[in-house]
Structure 1
Amino acid sequence: MANNKVKQLWAEGKTVVNAWLAIPSGFSAEVVAQCGFDSVTVDMQHGVQDYLSMVQCFQAMHGHPVTPMVRVPWNEPGVIGKVLDGGAYGVICPMVNTPQEARNLVSYAKYPPKGVRSNGPIRSGMYGSAGEYQKTANDEIVLLPMMETKTAVENMEAILDVEGIDGVYIGPSDLGFSYGLVPKLDRDEPEILKIYEKIVKECGKRGLNPGIHCSGAEGAVRAINMGFKLVTLSNEVGLMQVYARQQVAQTRKESGGKA
């Protein structure tokens, strides 16, 4: 199994710039993989991706220097083992609210004796020579439980103490929602920013890497300056919409009323 670029960047003290794929298209994945991202995450929770489209996205980006990752739909052993067998080098798992749920995630994603993952890396095993994948998978795969509820925040330190996770991933929309706020990505409420500050601090104490979902470069830079170690720049749908709307608006504005 090749070394995980995400872990290499963290070891160098750098922040990972992550892409997010909601569209079930190998071609879209191939285009995004050439845009300079460090990692590309296929979203199987809220995107319209399924397992086969995930594999197609991985195949399309395989020739480019990006780490393939997945947000699974739920903390469930079948899907976690299957995305890893399909080639995921990282798993982002939603709605992990307790240390036991974090321990479950670790168990589902790691081979014995550290976990209960079943052996059968049908595609991921092709990343290296035969039989080598299992020797390093436990160390190379990135595990990021999502911290996105009031309950998870209340259990923050206990969750971060779970052996085997590499950090946590913040879902700003659900986190704000759970505190009675409007769901959005780049949050500025003092109570939420205080939570971010504590997450970054507690991760730092443990050598963990906090990640967060952002709406674009402006929010990502703010997050990096706060101490986050992985930032996601919207998703390909959002990036496409923003640029398309900008181009349409500019065309109409500068056409002198002809469009």
Structure 2
Amino acid sequence: MSLVSRLRAGETVFSAWCNLSYPLVIETLCKTDFTAFMLDMQHGPFDTESVLHSVGIIQNAGKHTVVRIPVDRFDMASRALDFGAEGVIAPMINSAEDARRFAASMKYPPVGERSWGQLRGRPASYGAGGSGAYLAEVNAKTLAFAMIETRAAFAALDDILAVDGIDGVFVGPSDFSIAWSNGAEVDASSQAIIEPLKEIAAKAQAAGKLCGIYAADAELAKRFTGLGFTYVPLSVDTGYLQLGVKTLLAAVKS
């Protein structure tokens, strides 16, 4: 079952957020109940090679990979898909034009301009007779998430959602709180952003698109799913380590 089929069926997917770009860490996380993994190239240390290796490990575990690319690295969006990722999150999509450039890198013609060159996937001899149908199938299964994290993006939300090839939006609540407060605070739990977040989720659903958001802890995850978000990377791998140690020591000392 693909990630897009899970989300379009209404399933809420809690994903791991990965900053530690080491194969053994990825292998270990694949033994948990996470069904999806988000590899962070924007603020995390993932590079092209570590994304390539990590996607293979996650695929072999029968789970799903989403990659967050650096700002304006739409070339890496196509490469992540060629490596076998099912979705890509693009930061700083602040206009319909930004969204169109992102979508072009994510989808094969006639929707976009992605070029053929898969490293993982069906072999090149899949058959000319079915090639057009196969391209349409791949377009439908690859998820393009445009990040909504600025006031400009929020103002352009309807136009971004209307872009063919954009499958959903993804909110970085900390950055969104900075923008919403005009730099007065960074607080993903701010009550001031609840209504705009609710509006983002509602507009995405009305447009037939998906909506995701990062949640730093379980309480925020419950809050955000209650607003309508269904793809939710939860905390971060360094946090899982710290929480595990804290829980273990607390149990010993109690």
Please report the TM-score for the alignment, with normalisation by the length of structure 2.
0.89
In the alignment, structure 1 residue 67 sits paired with structure 2 residue 64: yes
- Asked if structure 1 preserves the Cα contact closer than 8 Å seen for 2:94 and 2:153, the reply is yes
Change (3 A) 1:66 1:200: same
Task: Write the mapping of 1:78-227 to structure 2, written as runs, cut at 5 A.
Answer: 78-125=75-122, 130=126, 134-178=135-179, 179=181, 180-185=183-188, 187-190=189-192, 192-227=193-228
Conserved? CA contact 1:90–1:142, under 8 Å = yes
- Between the aligned partners of 1:33 and 1:228, the Cα distance in structure 2 is 23
**Equivalent residue, structure 2, for 1:35:** 32
Aligned to 1:45: 42
Mapped to 2, the partners of 1:28 and 1:130 lie a distance apart of 34
Residue 236 (structure 1) aligns with: 237
- The farther-off stretch of 100-109 and 32-41 is 32-41
CA distance 1:33–1:184, change in 2 (3 Å):
farther
Shift >6 Å, 4+ stretches: none
- Whether contact under 8 Å (2:173, 2:213) holds in the other structure is yes
Instruction: Note the 1:243-254 alignment, pairs <5 A.
Output: 243-248=244-249, 251=252, 253-254=253-254
Flag structure 1 segments of 5+ consecutive residues without an equivalent: 255-259
Q: CA shift at 1:215, angstroms? A: 1.0
SS of equivalent to 2:158: helix
What amino acid is aligned across from residue 12 of structure 1 in structure 2? A
**C-alpha separation in 2, matches of 1:125 and 1:216:** 38
Residues in 2 aligned to 1:161 and 1:181: alpha-carbon distance in whole angstroms? 31
Deviation at 1:223, TM superposition (A): 1.1
Residue segments in structure 2 that go unaligned for 5+ positions in a row: none
Distance in 1, matches of 2:135 and 2:157, equals 31
**In structure 2, distance between residues paired with 1:83 and 1:63:** 16
The one of 3, 11, 32 equivalent to 2:8 is 11
- Residues 2-46 of structure 1, C-alpha deviations (whole Å, 9 max, x = no match): x52x21122322211111111111121122122122311111111
Q: For this pair of structures, how many residues does the alignment match?
A: 247
Q: Is the 8 A contact 2:111 2:164 kept in 1?
A: no
**What is the one-letter code of the residue matched to 2:215?**
C
Per-residue deviation at 1:125?
Answer: 4.2
Structure 2 counterpart of 1:68, which letter?
T
Deviation at 1:129, TM superposition (A): 7.2
* TM-score between the two structures when normalised by the length of structure 1: 0.88
Report percent identity of matched pairs: 31
CA shift digits 1:86-106 (9 cap, x unpaired): 111100111101011011110
**1:57-94 CA-partner distances (Å, limit 9, x unpaired):** 11212222321110011233321121111111100111
Q: 2:73 aligns with which of 76, 84, 87?
A: 76
2:177 touches 2:190 (CA, 8 Å); kept in 1?
Answer: no
